[in-house]
Amino acid sequence: MTALWQRHPVGIVGLGLIGGSLGLDLLAQGATVRALVHRQATAERALERGLASEVSTDPAVLCDCALVVLALPLDRLLDPSPELLAALPPAAVITDVGSVKGPVLEAWMALLGAERASRFVASHPMAGTAQAGVEAGAAGLFRGRPWVATPLPGTDPQALAAVQELAGAVGAHWLTCGAADHDRAVALISHLPVLVSAALLQAADRGAGDFVRSGAVSSDAISSGAPRPEPGAGGAGRFAVDRFAAGRVASAADGAAAPRSAEAASDPAGSDLPRLVRSLASSGFADTTRVGGGNPELGTLMARCNRESLLVALAQYRRALVDLEHLVAGESWPELQASLAEAQRLRPDFL
């Protein structure tokens, strides 16, 4: 039997990055795609871009759709309009693409009622870019990427299969798990990187200014007198305050300005360091900051809706960063190399 998306029109609510990309891929596979958007200007541009067969601001566009994909921002997904709810075909399989699953399931189980709720399949395609809006949709976005579903015990197996077929049609790698496990996992590998990436951008920006204001700042001063391992401690056990940092504190207490290094004093372009930092940023910095430079609204929604798991992830990251700081402050180079070797060994498992 042919897949549900091949036999009947597919409805997509929202034509941003995920919805638009899905529309492009399904149309390329010969599907009929009907899309509901919020603004008339978006509808017109979506048709110009060929994101769907039909695009409208009227929820009635979803009638006769046997499969409806809710590609909405989390806030609108968790609090859908009455007009959208009324327009969803009673027998349709409904899925979402939200990056948090526990709150979505809780909301939609209550909204749909027992019978219709069995045909709701919470899902999440793990694909994206830093782009957003109707211009963001890109063909092939899901190819080779995970598409995870979080079915409940009462989920209709045929509904689950229909969403799996949809994911397969766009080349995604299908898997299932519980909603709580999903939210813990994405906190670590999706939501945490957004904040870490944002922090890296902010650190590069503010750090350059700090160097200029204080002259050449040693690693001791940067870490604000972070404790360093005593000789022979091997990076563990008791820590002693760095002597150089302590000296800087004493000088400040005596009212003396911290001296600039010879290198900084001979650098007439020192005040241009913020610009230099930006000029030197290349592929490595681009790779590590891509998600931090993405949609601020989306990042905030992810944090708000997955707050508890994200706080656990942030605490774990903070511990890892402090461990690395102690190794550098203590000049524990063999231990640092071992830590980086472990990271090198781990990375292929995540990609």
> What CATH number is attached to the domain comprising 290?
1.10.3660.10
Give the separation between CA 124 and CA 147, rounded to whole angstroms. Answer: 6
- Same domain as 171, residue 154: yes
Residue 209's pLDDT is 78
Give the separation between CA 244 and CA 238, rounded to whole angstroms. Answer: 18
- Same domain as 110, residue 256: no
Residue keyed to tokens 């063999």: 334
- Same domain as 89, residue 147: yes
- Same domain as 135, residue 167: yes
Q: In what order do the strands lie in the sheet with 10-13?
A: 54-56, 33-36, 10-13, 67-70, 93-96, 120-121
Helices (H), 144-281: 157-169, 179-186, 192-214, 219-222, 243-253, 262-265, 273-280
> What CATH number is attached to the domain comprising 149?
3.40.50.720
Q: Which of 149, 177, 205 is the last residue of a domain?
A: 177
- Same domain as 192, residue 169: no
- Same domain as 282, residue 157: no
- Same domain as 201, residue 233: yes
What letter represents residue 70's amino acid? L
Instruction: Render each residue's pLDDT in the chain as its tens digit; 351 residues.
Output: 799 999 999 999 999 999 999 999 999 999 999 999 999 999 999 999 999 999 999 999 999 999 999 999 999 999 999 999 999 999 999 999 999 999 999 999 999 988 899 999 999 999 988 788 999 999 999 999 999 999 999 999 999 999 999 999 999 999 999 999 999 999 999 999 999 999 999 999 988 877 767 665 444 434 444 444 443 333 333 333 333 333 333 333 344 344 444 444 445 444 688 889 999 999 999 999 988 888 898 899 999 999 999 999 999 999 999 999 999 999 999 999 999 999 999 999 998
- Same domain as 197, residue 96: no
Q: Which of 151, 177, 203 is the last residue of a domain?
A: 177
- Same domain as 142, residue 163: yes
What's the number of domains the chain is made of? 2
pTM: 0.81
- Same domain as 200, residue 63: no
3 state DSSP class of 99: coil
Q: Which two tokens stand for residue 332?
A: 């524990």
Structural domain containing residue 167? 4-177
3 state DSSP class of 70: strand
Q: Which of 177, 211, 238 is the last residue of a domain?
A: 177
